[in-house]
Chains A and B, each alone.
With several copies, the nearest count.
Chain A
């Protein structure tokens, strides 16, 4: 049973996450994590679990809050805005696939689960895992949070299989966006079939909505601090934001950022309500949010000028995150194709 929050409750949830991240996931924290091996802040993850965020999609029966995509998306906007590396997307997907004690551990923030979509769901096009007779062997590529996972889930059309830590090796990848870690999972060992394939599409849709929220939040944040800079920075005796070149870029980016937010929230609402436009809405979020974020981050760097060409300035961290999100779960080209397929199916 999915719980439905009132507007006020949602705002309160969002604010509590925002406050926590402002406190514990400031730019300095992000940079510190970028230089660590795992990129993971276990203390922050516990704090997020304490807020109920890790288990927000886990049913109340298993110690979660039983919330839905709408609340997830809202939280993800904050995660994205703060460039947090918290394993939220993986956790949200896993919440839709796990039951029992594992779900309970997930909700408590005690179990970190990496999800590897296989077969038709394999957005990397490079994963190859053979499952038979209760054993799996092969590699699942570019798996988010694989480097810190206690458990891996292999999600294919014919079922979902749990792989315990002992049965896989995670090779952390040298990622361009150090705020979103990926690993190749080399799997060789016993697996446990935990549910059939029918739950996969829904679970991955939750992941897509989570990513869309991350992108919408990131786009908005990079726009916000860029606009703030444009108000303050003076050249030629004027704030640079008074020049049309800058002002008009900002206006165009506002359209992008607002559109990303609309797309992400619409997809969340459609997924929550199992609306008729679900596939259309998901596919739309799949590219509109990615494209908007990349553009906001790209133009954000340009609008800052030289200062944003330095490592010390945060703008490029958003650009890196925007670029990584634009590949994760399929690129914009892929989702535009899915979008038009969904439109064709509808017409």
Chain B
């Protein structure tokens, strides 16, 4: 098919079908646009790079982008999930032949709510130190343990879970990866109160919960590898996204907003403020330019080292923007609450910046990753890397 033919087909299909859909409000949980998404999926537009067998059309990246552009022009969601749908990509790559046909179509249509069950109180930066156990039983596994920093667990149907299935293997080698059904006795979800006084995350207490045989992804004991692809995926998405103010509209115009705040505060003529505001906006702009260049270089087949820098860059931007907003507001920043939205924003940003600098791997871990994977600097000696995990924990 030529590019023109493709474009014509998508445009025609959209003209025939797209009538608008309710907006998506949450990243997690069931998608209110499910009906529309199912239509997109069935038409083969949800993941056009995927093979036809899996609802795709086997398009090249270039042609898939044509589809995406058509959808974007129409304001219609649902395509490009072969790039953006973490759950579906993971399932497609690693789910068992029994489970894959059950779950993939639902994921593409947003019909099932999902959450991540990775971190534990004792395994944050050192994710491979998880102690949640999955023990083999008739027809599947029984799971017991505790997970933290889970988003949307209270409305999820499945959790992508890592649990230890082999305690005699070294820490990275005894882990398996599952789609665990969340709606069962034995899975207890409690909200986690954040420093911002919000609760976007949960703790999940798992007590003898059951996972059917076919819900294992990848090989038994091969969970660390599955996890790595899922994490790399998440990181590349994360650097891109600004995570500052509460309102999505504000995020989109981050630069103008800071300038505007300085003007409102009557401080835009202050030379010190001008330097500070300029620097924050510059960092934000540089991060966008880096990301854009990285994508272009990937497009040209050049390897790009920039992709992994986005999250680290964003962390500096957010913390510094919190500082500058506070500087701009002066005494007003002492306040909070709905009557003081500018103060609320400055304070929220100052605290929520840790979501980026700690969440999904701290800045420190991120620098390790960049140093080792991008700059090829040697790893630190890891004392517990090659030791049976049961021996590691016995030694504490």
Contact = CB atoms under 8 A, between A and B. Distances in A.
Partners in one complex: yes
Interface of A: 7, 123-126, 141-142, 173-177, 182, 227, 230-231, 234-248, 250-252, 254-255, 258-259, 261-263, 265-266, 280, 284, 287-288, 298, 301-302, 305-313, 315-316, 319, 323-324, 326-328, 331, 333, 336-337, 339-340, 343-344, 347
Interface stretch (B2-10, B21-29, B38-46, B190-198): B190-198
Given A236-B383, A327-B330, A337-B274, 16 more contacts: A174-B335, A175-B336, A237-B392, A245-B367, A251-B312, A254-B375, A258-B306, A262-B292, A262-B306, A308-B195, A308-B354, A309-B355, A319-B351, A328-B334, A339-B282, A347-B256
Given A239-B378, A305-B358, A306-B149, A333 B333 contact: no
Nearest to B198: A311
A333 B312 CA distance: 25
Contacts of A262: 286, 289-290, 292-293, 306
Given A237-B384, A309-B194, A311-B197, A123 B290 contact: no
Contact of B367 (A248, A261, A263, A309): A248
B370 interface: yes
Given A242-B380, A250-B375, A284 B339 contact: no
Nearest to A8: B300
B126 A7 contact: no
B19 interface: no
Contacts of B123: 235
B240 interface: no
B285 to A, nearest CB: 6
A173 B336 CA distance: 9
A263 B362 CA distance: 27
B313 interface: yes
9 contacts: A236-B384, A238-B380, A238-B381, A248-B364, A250-B370, A251-B366, A252-B367, A306-B124, A309-B354
Contacts of A141: 331
Interface of B: 119, 121, 123-126, 129, 148-149, 192-195, 197, 255-256, 259-260, 268, 271-272, 274-275, 277-279, 281-283, 285-287, 289-290, 292-293, 300, 305-306, 309, 312-313, 319, 326-327, 330-331, 333-337, 339-340, 343, 347, 350-351, 354-355, 357-359, 362-364, 366-368, 370-372, 374-385, 392, 396
A241 B195 contact: no
A323 B350 contact: yes
B354 A255 contact: no
A343 B255 CA distance: 9
B58 to A, nearest CB: 27
Given A7-B300, A173-B335, A242 B379 contact: yes
B259 A288 contact: no
Given A174-B339, A309-B194, A241 B333 contact: no
A3 B203 CA distance: 55
Given A236-B382, A288-B282, A245 B364 contact: yes
Nearest to A142: B331
Contacts of B197: 311
B278 A337 contact: yes
A336 B331 contact: no
A237 B125 contact: no
Identify the 3 closest CB pairs spanning chains A and B, nearest first: A237-B384, A247-B371, A235-B126
B281 A343 contact: yes
B124 A235 contact: yes
B278 A177 contact: no
Contacts of B326: 323, 326
B124 A305 contact: yes
Contacts of A316: 195, 351
Contacts of B366: 251
A244 B381 CA distance: 11
Contact of B272 (A280, A306, A333): A333
Contacts of A236: 125-126, 129, 382-384
Contact of B193 (A252, A310, A324): A310
Contacts of B259: 340, 343-344, 347
A280 B283 CA distance: 13
A337 B319 CA distance: 22
A125 B333 contact: no
B340 A227 contact: no
Contact of B289 (A241, A252, A263): A263
B286 to A, nearest CB: 4
Nearest to B149: A306
